[in-house]
Amino acid sequence: DVPLLAVEDLVVEYMTPSGPVRAVDAVSFVLARGEVLGLVGESGSGKSTVAQALARILGPPAMITAGRVLFEGSDVLAMHEDDLRRFRWRKMSFVLQSAMNALCPVLTIGEQIIDVLVTHERTSARAARERAAHLLELVGIDPARLTSHPHELSGGMRQRVGIALALALDPPLVIMDEPTTALDVVVQHEVLSKIAELKEKLGLSVLFITHDMSIVSQFATRIGVLYAGRLVEMAPTRELFRAPRHPYTKGLLGSFVSLHGPRRRLAGIPGSPPDLRRLPAGCAFRARCAEATARCATEAPVLRGIGEDHSTACHLVSP
């Protein structure tokens, strides 16, 4: 069975005057149909770069220098510009942190949704209007809002319009990059429940990118943890919370002991991520790792399976 999305040894480098800098280093994962895969990492971990590489919306100085991205078996990195434009709305669409960036301030919500529909599908203006109204209903917004401009909506509503736009052509995969980060907690919750509901209703697959473990735990089926451009741990959500194995994941989870217990502040990890331009030899997490040994200073750990559907990259962890 061909997975919806397979990423194989993806490498993205930023070309700088002092040479290439690896922002994404040999990242591999598979996303199955109907799955919500969470990609978690601090800022600078490469999570947004991975997302943008998948849809090939990265521009210079970033460059995909190795790896494969297979969508339903076909190679996205080999697609021509024409195929790519169709692919981006029909097969894989995006919801960004601030819908303000995706929405045009001078057009009404309806005009923008209809524009996407008539540009990409042979559809009558009337059918497009009906579809636009349906899309707004789907995300819990009164279709009367089709005549509103973006600035007339609240932040939470704008994010939901962003989701409606992403769903316009009914793509099987939606990539969401910090879709609720700019919202306050209550609105965040409302948008997240809407995403969870849509996932059930439409059988949507989602790649959900966030720096917040507590958000991703609510509806991701699996979670990948990125550190300094590499995947350091990947497991089904329950398994990751029950038995995190990488010291970085353990730190991220901190006091976050139970999926259902009271939520406490994340413990946080002392120190900051390494400068990608001057990555130390060995394990990139070493400077912050309380468990580091001499081997960690010289040899970089590779991601390997340590249990069913659970893998990690740490010298101290074995199956």
Q: How far is the CB of 12 from ligand SF4 (least distance, A)?
A: 22
Contact call for residue 301 and ligand SF4 (CB under 6 A):
yes
Q: Is the alpha carbon torsion for 163, 105, 97, 30 positive or negative?
A: positive
Q: How far is the CB of 166 from Mg ion (least distance, A)?
A: 17
In 3D space, the residue among 163, 200, 31, 167 whose CA is nearest the CA of residue 90 turns out to be 167
Q: Select from Mg ion, ligand SF4, none the partner in contact with residue 315, using the beta carbon and a kind-dependent cut-off of 5 to 8 Å.
A: ligand SF4
Contact call for residue 296 and ligand SF4 (CB under 6 A):
yes
Q: Select from ligand SF4, Mg ion, none the partner in contact with residue 247, using the beta carbon and a kind-dependent cut-off of 5 to 8 Å.
A: ligand SF4
Q: Select from ligand SF4, Mg ion, none the partner in contact with residue 256, using the beta carbon and a kind-dependent cut-off of 5 to 8 Å.
A: none
Q: Is 256 helix (H, G, I), strand (E, B) or coil?
A: coil
Instruction: Tell me if 77 sits within 8 A of 56, measured CB to CB.
Output: yes
List of E strands, the chain: 5-16, 19-31, 36-40, 62-71, 74-75, 92-95, 173-177, 205-210, 222-227, 230-236, 304-307, 310-312
Instruction: State which of residues 5, 24, 37, 48 lies at the interface with Mg ion (CB under 5 A).
Output: 48
Contact call for residue 315 and ligand SF4 (CB under 6 A):
yes
262-291: contacts with ligand SF4 (CB under 6 A): 283, 285-286, 289, 291
CA–CA gap between residue 49 and residue 229 (Å, rounded)? 9
Q: Which two tokens stand for residue 289?
A: 């790792």
**Total residues binding ligand SF4 (CB under 6 A):** 13
Contact call for residue 303 and ligand SF4 (CB under 6 A):
no
Cα maximum dimension of the chain: 68
Residues forming contacts to ligand SF4 in the complex (CB under 6 A) are: 246-247, 283, 285-286, 289, 291-292, 296, 301, 314-316
Residues forming contacts to Mg ion in the complex (CB under 5 A) are: 48
